[in-house]
Structure 1
Amino acid sequence: MISLPLVYTILALIAYTTGFWYSFMHLLAKREPNRWFIGVILSIGLLLHGYILEHDMLTTHGVNYDVFNLMSFTSGLMLLLSAVYSTYRPVIALNLLGIPVAATGLIFGFAFSHPDQFTEEHSLGLDIHIILSLSAYAVLLMATIQAVLMWFQDRELKKKQKRLWVNLLPPFQVMESLLFDMLITGFVVLTIALGFGFFTVDSFLAQHLAHKTVFSLISWVVYGVLLIGHFKFGWRGQKAIRFTLIGFSLLAVGFIGSKFILEMILGK
């Protein structure tokens, strides 16, 4: 018997595939895609994606933080934000990156997550802190990918012949504006996540979170300095790209590095 989550997964993938090919064919032909159609088809895919996540992550014992569930959550959030940003900025082309990422995360989450494993009981405040932290990482990862695209775009624009993928991208100034939209969103969410962490985590040292907290705070400062520099001193271009990459590198070292040391080296 076919399960309902499987049906929803297939329908979500159909919606994602439809949105991708519709956008790609229109942009390739240099025609403006219908924003309403893109919005509706991606909304259907994301709603189905959200239902599957709710089914996989929310259990009677607590939130299931299986790594594949987290992949599905972050990839879906990235596409959601990409779709939201494209409603007020001419960046529909970036959904061509967000849709495959969300589809891949959905497939991995449905196929490989373990509903009976990796479930931990936390207080509501700590669960909110974890979800906000993951959301901040997802948004700032988007900003990092955006910064890398801008770096390649800037380099290609200086050449006489531009590659096809560069022609599909929005103008550099639009890409830069979107980068700061992402940075502002990520900075706000990271600020709230850190605030929840200080009030909900009993002991950072006992829970081996000191190093992760230090790197997160340094990263928060880097992003804060960049945003102040942008709005007060007009920082942009390559300086914004460098700060963005440095900020996320610190986050990655704090999060991924600490998990590697604790689990692989210390066995905790």
Structure 2
Amino acid sequence: MDEPRREQILSLLAIHKKMDNVALRELLFCSTSTLRRELISLEKEGLIRRYRGGVVLEVERNHVISTRYRENVMIKEKEYIAEIASTFIGPGMSLFIDSSSTVKALLPYLSTLSNSVIITNGLRAAYELLHICQSDTKVYMVGGEAIKDAESVVGDYGNEFLHLFHIDLCLLSSTGIDLEGIYEANFAQALFKKKLMTLSEKSLLLVDHTKFGKKHAYRFSDLHSFESIITNEEPEKSYLNLNIEFLY
């Protein structure tokens, strides 16, 4: 694997959730002491939990996963998704991007746009956009309640502010998708994304393959409400039979 060892560990745990140290060491081609150092470091950051002989990624259902964790897994997959999504954007557009790590992978493409308006509820995304965007591109931050783990702002406070914009394209991710709808692990996030979709001409959903088949408590949309659903692998036939554009 080309990615750093810590990212390899997080990527493997994102798939398997729980692994023993022997299997991890063999997959990573590293020594016991090297693996132990990496696991201790990740545990201190609150990304994993070690137990005797193994390690587990504990992500509770309907729990907002920290941005620090999300930005260190599925990196190549998110970059692949962002490359496809970038074909929908161009100069002079008014865009909303959410605070997700998947949508955040679009930032390099947004930096090249001229004479554009970019609205976001992502705290770090707004900061980075200010430093990389063209001088004639305007960046706006939505007001509301700041959520620590998601590093985003949500709530009804920003709704009147959002009505001041004509949004050409809304780019969103989610914590889960199944045949019945699109889900969020946080009620405020779900309400906020539902509101954004009603204010936008078109909406795109950006989700990697691990989100398929996952249901959470808060359903904010059905699949047909999106212009396209962009992912990194071909979805199961049951999704492709819905007469919805999946790009992968």
TM-score relative to the length of structure 2 = 0.28
Instruction: Work out which structure has the larger RCO, using CA pairs closer than 8 Å and 6 or more positions apart in sequence.
Output: 1
Which is richer in helix? 1
Which is richer in strand? 2
TM-score relative to the length of structure 1 = 0.26
Higher Cα radius of gyration: 1
